[in-house]
Amino acid sequence: MERTVLPSGRPPPPSHALGPQCFPRRVCKSRCAAFFCRKTACAKCATEWNMGAHSVPRIMTAASFGFLSGILLHAGWLRPVPFLAMAVAMLPLLFVRHRIVCIGYAACLFGFIRFDMTLPLPSEALAEAVGREASFIGIVREMRIYQATIAVRTMDDRVVSSRSLISVSPGSATLSEGQTVRVACRLAMLDLADKKSRFLARRGAFFQCKGTTVVRLVAFAPPYFAPAALANWRKALSARIRAVFPGDEGALLSGILYGERGFTKRMNDAFRMAGMTHLIAVSGSNITLVVSLFVPFLLVLGYRRTSAIVLSGLGILLFAFFVGAEASVIRAAIMGWLALLARAFGRKPKAGHLLLVAAAVMTLADPWAPAFDAGFALSFLATWGLIALSPFVSERLRFVPERFGLREITATTFSATLVTTPYSLWAFQESSLAGLITNLFAIPLIGLAMAWGALAIAVGPVIPAVAWPAQGFLHAILRIAETANRFPWLAYALPIPLWAMAAIYTLIAGAGMHLKRKKYPQPGVLEAHIPSRIRAFVRAF
């Protein structure tokens, strides 16, 4: 009997003992066949088994896209949705016959429900104190350069369950995560109509201190408080970096390696105007570095390749916690974990699917992130532009020389800028064209600065000459940012409404799908046309 081969090139499952009853082939019309058609030993079942295997990515994509759509739709309507309205919205599920559409619609409704569960509920005790001087005791949950997030515990001897955002200047108090402090200030409630206030509300901060703020330390962080221990480790590492690289060079290296924001305000504004802030944010390149260090180390210790890949996921997890678990690093960590699991089971991961699933997982934990967290949105949009548009842009830039990876850098920079600009115009009402030029010179130096900088941190105090190459690369990156600020006309203000941003992204997505179907009709051919550097970057996820 002729051996049956599935369209994917693989034989049918061993449980299917093919016999004369297997022919002729027929396609099963049952909706559940892709999952449960296992009984009959026929080619029809083998075909449906193959369709079921290939439908898993489609199901995950539909569920993730539907869930994100529900979250974003509800984000534009910050009011509770009545239960009766949700029940009526579920009625179409009884009549929809297409499985993918049904899953996507159900996931969209679940996104509505999940966002509805996290609508702001400010504390009544703090709301009563709005507009007057108040004194309360709380724990520092998050500390940034210019502000701290305080989890309020008591106010006027009353227990309070809320958070209050306290603005603290660097010179007024030295705070760190886990410390218990007493704060005296005039409370004000955030206006959720403001985009910045919504960003704070998604963290649970519904109130803000206005005017003079007095902060006094009550108790240090307990030894078992993990965020405080991680913050102390980051401070110790930052101190070691500053000892080797004083000034802005050390702050830049801290940002490149683990996302530490230690720039002066002048240099921070320079990087923002130059379109280079993404260089000091932890992203996929840092996760790639972690995996590239862990896997060879575990292989040297005698672990098998599969075990080394799985255990390197532990390194990703530890690194994500160490740097503070920001949106960009969580996205990269989730994609890295999924890619490692896929490779451990012998599957070839697809970056687009990993990106969408990572977005859905992060949104499930924090439904406010897609709409009101700029770091979350820009991280995913830039990665999407890198994956989806860079191959086509690279083909149109054949006049750009390939030497030193110049064409690939130009393609990735243009793609990321094209995709992130609409969101920047909506969220910040401004954008800059300087990034199209500055990144051409800065990106090639980032990898060199990261490698030489890590080596200098390890042996620089003993052998100072090792730090000289990294010092030169870091200084060059700083000069690029400062030079771009001499041309302020590259920055422009053009605020756009939400509907315009949605329309632009719809056009970009539609154009990308059209180009893919027109240029690469065969599945899997697109990956072969991705430049080597981009393919290596995507493969890391």
- Shared-domain flag, residues 110 and 133: no
- Amino acid 383: pLDDT: 79
Strands 205-219 and 158-167, sheet pairing = parallel
- Interhelix angle 467-484/435-459, rounded to 10 degrees, is 160
Whether the per-residue pLDDT at 421 is higher than 80: the answer is yes
- Amino acid 50: pLDDT: 39
Share of the chain above pLDDT 90, in %: 0
Q: How confident is the model at residue 173 (pLDDT cuts 50, 70, 90)?
A: low
**Cβ-Cβ contacts under 8 Å for 201 (sequence gap 6 or more):** 120, 190, 192, 368, 372
* pTM for the whole structure: 0.66
Radius of gyration, CA atoms only, the chain: 26
- Amino acid 386: pLDDT: 79
Q: Which domain holds residue 110?
A: 20-116
- The span from the CA of 200 to the CA of 432, in Å, is 25
Q: Tell me the one-letter amino acid at 140.
A: V
Q: For residue 153, what is the enclosing H or E element?
A: strand 147-155
Asked if residue 305 is part of any domain, the answer here is no
Between the alpha carbon of residue 125 and those of residues 121, 122, 212, the distances in Å are 12, 9, 21
Q: Across residues 49-71, what is the average pLDDT? A: 66
- Amino acid 145: pLDDT: 60
303: left (phi over 0), alpha (psi -120 to 50) or beta: beta
Whether the per-residue pLDDT at 443 is higher than 70: the answer is yes
- Amino acid 369: pLDDT: 76
- Amino acid 541: pLDDT: 36
Angle CA(430)–CA(432)–CA(433) in degrees, nearest 5?
145
- Shared-domain flag, residues 100 and 183: no
Asked if residue 136 is part of any domain, the answer here is yes
Tens digit of pLDDT for each residue in 307-364? 777 777 777 777 777 776 666 677 777 777 777 766 666 666 677 777 777 788 878 8
Output the domain CATH number for residue 197. 2.40.50.140
Tens digit of pLDDT for each residue in 186-199? 777 777 666 666 66
- Shared-domain flag, residues 128 and 154: yes
Is 141 in a helix, a strand, or coil?
strand
Last-in-domain residue among 67, 83, 116: 116
Q: What string of H, E and C letters represents the secondary structure of 163-231?
A: EEEEECCCCCCCCCCCCEEEEEEEEEECCCCCHHHHHHHCCCEEEEEEEEEEEEEEECCCCCCHHHHHH
- Shared-domain flag, residues 141 and 204: yes
- Shared-domain flag, residues 168 and 138: yes
How many domains in the chain?
Answer: 2
- Shared-domain flag, residues 24 and 101: yes
Q: How confident is the model at residue 417 (pLDDT cuts 50, 70, 90)?
A: confident
Listing DSSP states for 74-109 in one string gives: HHT--SPPPHHHHHHHTGGGGT---HHHHHHHHHHH
- Shared-domain flag, residues 110 and 173: no
Last-in-domain residue among 116, 139, 174: 116
Is 152 in a helix, a strand, or coil?
strand
Q: How confident is the model at residue 23 (pLDDT cuts 50, 70, 90)?
A: very low
- The span from the CA of 419 to the CA of 227, in Å, is 34
Asked if residue 229 is part of any domain, the answer here is no
Asked if residue 260 is part of any domain, the answer here is no
- Amino acid 22: pLDDT: 42
Asked if residue 492 is part of any domain, the answer here is no
Last-in-domain residue among 116, 134, 165: 116
- Shared-domain flag, residues 25 and 90: yes
Tens digit of pLDDT for each residue in 205-228? 777 777 667 777 777 777 777 777
Q: How confident is the model at residue 231 (pLDDT cuts 50, 70, 90)?
A: confident
Q: Across residues 45-60, what is the average pLDDT? A: 51
Between the alpha carbon of residue 298 and those of residues 288, 295, 395, 541, the distances in Å are 16, 5, 39, 19
- Shared-domain flag, residues 86 and 136: no
The larger pLDDT score, comparing residue 94 to residue 425, is at 425
DSSP code of residue 489: G
Q: Across residues 64-88, what is the average pLDDT? A: 71
Choice among 81-85, 301-305, 494-498, 527-531 with the minimum mean pLDDT? 527-531
The larger pLDDT score, comparing residue 41 to residue 111, is at 111
The tokens for 425 are 């115009």
Omega cis (within 30) before 24: yes
Q: Across residues 289-298, what is the average pLDDT? A: 73
Q: Across residues 391-402, what is the average pLDDT? A: 78
Q: Across residues 171-183, what is the average pLDDT? A: 72
By C-alpha distance, which of 298, 436, 460, 362 is closest to 67? 362
Q: How confident is the model at residue 41 (pLDDT cuts 50, 70, 90)?
A: very low
Is 301 in a helix, a strand, or coil?
coil
- Shared-domain flag, residues 162 and 207: yes
Asked if residue 336 is part of any domain, the answer here is no
* List of long-range contacts for 232-237, beta carbons under 8 Å, 24+ apart: 232/176, 233/322, 234/258, 234/260, 234/322, 234/323, 234/324, 235/176, 237/457
Q: Across residues 394-409, what is the average pLDDT? A: 76
**Cβ-Cβ contacts under 8 Å for 321 (sequence gap 6 or more):** 226, 230
DSSP code of residue 487: -
- Amino acid 125: pLDDT: 64
- Shared-domain flag, residues 101 and 176: no
Choice among 111-120, 239-248, 418-427 with the minimum mean pLDDT? 111-120
- The span from the CA of 497 to the CA of 422, in Å, is 10
- Shared-domain flag, residues 179 and 159: yes
- The span from the CA of 161 to the CA of 122, in Å, is 9
Whether the per-residue pLDDT at 48 is higher than 80: the answer is no
The larger pLDDT score, comparing residue 411 to residue 202, is at 411
Asked if residue 172 is part of any domain, the answer here is yes
Q: Tell me the one-letter amino acid at 475.
A: H
The larger pLDDT score, comparing residue 124 to residue 65, is at 65
Asked if residue 37 is part of any domain, the answer here is yes
